[in-house]
Amino acid sequence: MTRVVRQATVDDIWAVHEIARESWHAVYDDALGSDTVDDVVDDWYAIGDLESAISTTQSRDDAAFLVAETASDVPADGETDCRSALELDGFAHVVPWPEDTTVAFLARLYVRPAVWNDGTGTALLETLETSLAPGFDRVRVPVLTDNEIGIFFSESRGFDRVETRSSGLAAGLEEHVYEKEL
Taken in order of first residue, the domains within the chain and their CATH numbers are 2-76+83-132 (3.40.630.30)
Cβ contacts of residue 82 below 8 Å, gap of 6+?
73, 74, 75, 76
Other Cβ atoms closer than 10 A to 152: 11
Q: Is the pLDDT of residue 53 over 90?
A: yes
pLDDT for 79: 61
Band of the pLDDT at 90, cuts 50, 70, 90?
A: very high
Percentage with pLDDT > 70 across the chain: 90
